[in-house]
Amino acid sequence: MASRYDRAITVFSPDGHLFQVEYAQEAVKKGSTAVGIRGTNIVVLGVEKKSVAKLQDERTVRKICALDDHVCMAFAVLTIFIGLTADARVVINRARVECQSHKLTVEDPVTVEYITRFIATLKQKYTQSNGRRPFGISALIVGFDDDGIPRLYQTDPSGTYHAWKANAIGRSAKTVREFLEKNYTEDAIASDNEAIKLAIKALLEVVQSGGKNIELAIIRRNQPLKMFSAKEVELYVTEIEREKEEAEKKKSKKPV
Partner 1 sequence: MKRQLTCLSGQFWLWPSFSVASLLPHQTPVTNSWLASSKLHSAPGMALQDVCKWQSPDTQGPSPHLPQAGGWAVPRGCDPQTFLQIHGPRLAHGTTTLAFRFRHGVIAAADTRSSCGSYVACPASCKVIPVHQHLLGTTSGTSADCATWYRVLQRELRLRELREGQLPSVASAAKLLSAMMSRYRGLDLCVATALCGWDRSGPMLFYVYSDGTRLQGDIFSVGSGSPYAYGVLDRGYRYDMSTQEAYALARCAVAHATHRDAYSGGSVDLFHVRESGWEHVSRSDACVLYSGVTEAPGARARGGCQPCPS
Residues binding partner 1 (CB under 8 A)? 94, 97-98, 101, 104-108, 111, 113-114, 129-131, 146
The answer to whether 134 and 9 have CB atoms below 8 angstroms apart is: yes
CB of 201 to partner 1, least distance (A): 34
Determine whether 255 is exposed, middle or buried from the number of CB atoms within 10 Å of its CB (0-12, 13-18, 19+): exposed
Residue with Cβ nearer partner 1 (57 or 107)? 107
CB of 109 to partner 1, least distance (A): 11
Q: Give Cα 92 to chain centroid, integer Å.
A: 13
Neighbours of 193 (CB within 10 A): 12
CB of 13 to partner 1, least distance (A): 23
Distance CA 83, CA 156 (A): 10
Q: 139: which strand partners?
A: 81, 155
Q: Is 50 helix (H, G, I), strand (E, B) or coil?
A: coil
Residue with Cβ nearer partner 1 (111 or 167)? 111
Residue with Cβ nearer partner 1 (146 or 178)? 146
Residue with Cβ nearer partner 1 (131 or 255)? 131
CB of 70 to partner 1, least distance (A): 14
Residue with Cβ nearer partner 1 (2 or 97)? 97
- Identify the helix (H) or strand (E) that includes residue 154: strand 150-155
CB of 77 to partner 1, least distance (A): 15
Q: 220: which strand partners?
A: 42
Residue with Cβ nearer partner 1 (113 or 192)? 113
CB of 147 to partner 1, least distance (A): 8
**What stretches of 19-74 adopt beta strand conformation (E)?**
34-38, 42-48, 64-70
